[in-house]
Amino acid sequence: MRDLFAPSIMCGDLLNLEEEIRTYEKAGADMIHFDIMDTTFTNTTMLPPLLLPAIHRATRLPVDVHVMVDRPERFIETLLPYCKDTYVSIHIESTKEIQNLLKAIKQAGGRPSVALNPGTSLCMVEEVVPLVDMMLVLLCNAGSGPKQDIDEQLSHKLQKAKMMLEQYGKPGALLEVDGNVSFENARRAKSLGANVFVLGTASIYNDKGTVPENMGRLREYLENN
């Protein structure tokens, strides 16, 4: 499977989002990563759900929504109208209603996904794997946390996550990594089964080149290493 790149739009120019989207399209991005945060699950705020319709109108690229709020069932009805053909990741740590939320996303025409922080056991998500089209494994805690390379624990988690998807009859489900996805971490994650890479300041938003240049370098790096 082709490596799927999901640039994180919150790292872009928030005053010129349509221009940012055009840059992604020209650079060969595969989807757009959209973070929702309200300080209840992370220590910051970012990107309201009401922005999603405008993004859908502006591009044919799939959108990958990462919900980082406590008790997302509080506002799921606001999000559901914008879920069609959209990956929506809900954190297992954030709710006791994970099965109902994933089913609601599916019924709305979306692509349900379960997310987990690096310290969370995969045992917590095992029961919902049959319901998902993607699993998101964070390489650092949602919204914060120290930046780190993929260590033995994360290596084991990614391997086990890939095996779990296959074990529960979801071999076509995506395995996404997010948080400090540097060139080396992306290479390592790919070798362990990941196929979707959320790209931010550790890879494409830096002074080493433009977003298209850095994305092209990363694709070449993953193809050759």
Active-site residue flag, 178 = yes
> Residues 35, 64, 149, 207: which is the catalytic one?
35
Instruction: Give every CB contact of residue 41 below 8 A, 6+ residues apart in sequence.
Output: 68, 69, 70, 91, 93, 94, 142, 143
- Concerning whether 207 is annotated as a catalytic residue, the answer is no
Burial 46-80 (b: 16+ CB within 10 A, else e): bbebeebeebbeebebbbbbbbbbeebbeebeebb
Using alpha carbons only, give the angle 32, 68, 10 rounded to the nearest 5 degrees.
Answer: 40
Using CA atoms, how far apart are residues 73 and 80, in angstroms rounded to an integer? 11
Rounded Cα distance, 98 and 157, in Å: 20
What's the rounded Cα separation, in Å, for the pair 199 and 211?
Answer: 10
Strands of the sheet containing 111-116, edge to edge, are 4-7, 196-199, 174-178, 134-138, 111-116, 87-91, 63-68, 32-38, 45-46
For residue 151 the two structure tokens come to 């260590």
At CA 86, angle to CA 184 and CA 129, rounded to 5? 70
Q: 3-state class of 29 per DSSP?
A: coil
Considering the candidates 13, 64, 178, 207, report the single residue annotated as catalytic: 178
- Residues annotated as catalytic (active site), given as ranges: 35, 178
